[in-house]
Amino acid sequence: MEQLPITIESLHSNGGARTVTRAVFPPGASAVMHYHTQYNESFRVIEGQLILIKSGKEFKLNIGQLSPEIEFTEIHTYKNKSDHEVIVDIILEPGHQGCEDSNLILAALAKENKLGLLSKKYSLFWLAFYDLTNTIPVGLAKTLCSMATFYYGRKRIKRYQRFLLSMVENLRLKKVEEKTVATD
């Protein structure tokens, strides 16, 4: 079974200072070239080797290494070029609610057996996800996202984002109901 990203330090526990997500990147995983405008980002490798490219410079990060900080608006990408999973902690400073929500959305999709949505690049799902996580693609990915945004429309993307967040809220409510039933 695929391992989903989880929030291991929430902005709600540290006055908004940071969000730390533990993520597992399968062999061959990569991100589109992108930047963020709301937080700085860094990676700490827990297992495996991660390739980080920021501002055109490549960094090979091994177990225990912390990447150089990726500043606001700095263009970057990351890749797992190995044949093994890479486990990393992704550190966002300041913390970012949308990124924390995105982890919950993935958990909700997994519970509903809907992770197949992730396979359709430049879909309504990915446009909503990029927007939620303040991920701004560049180059060809930006062009494709712009075309898809024009096709779907901004309002529809925001509605879909609200739908995804409602899945998370429904999951929370189910957990509360399960706890209530278990204590009765």
Q: Please, which pLDDT band fits residue 181 given cuts at 50, 70 and 90?
A: low
> Could you tell me the CA-to-CA distances from 80 to 16, 35, 63, 176 in Å, in that order?
30, 19, 13, 38
| Tokens read off for 116 | 């197949």
Segment among 59-73, 86-100, 128-142, 158-172 with least mean pLDDT: 158-172
Asked if pLDDT for residue 2 goes beyond 60, the answer is no
Do 93 and 39 touch, CB atoms closer than 8 A? yes
Instruction: Inform me whether the pLDDT recorded for 176 exceeds 70.
Output: no
The full set of domains in the chain, from first to last, is: 6-183 (2.60.120.10)
Give pTM, 2 decimals: 0.87
Structure-derived torsion over alpha carbons of residues 34, 39, 44, 45, reported in degrees to the nearest 10: -30
Has residue 150 got a pLDDT over 70?
yes
At position 171, the amino acid (one-letter code) is: L
For 49, residues 6+ apart whose C-beta sits below 8 A from its C-beta are 60, 61, 62, 63, 80, 81, 82, 86
Would the pLDDT of 1 be above 50?
no
Instruction: Give me the pLDDT at residue 40, please.
Output: 98
pLDDT digits (tens, 9 = 90+) for 83-131: 999 999 999 999 999 999 999 898 888 888 888 877 777 788 889 999 9
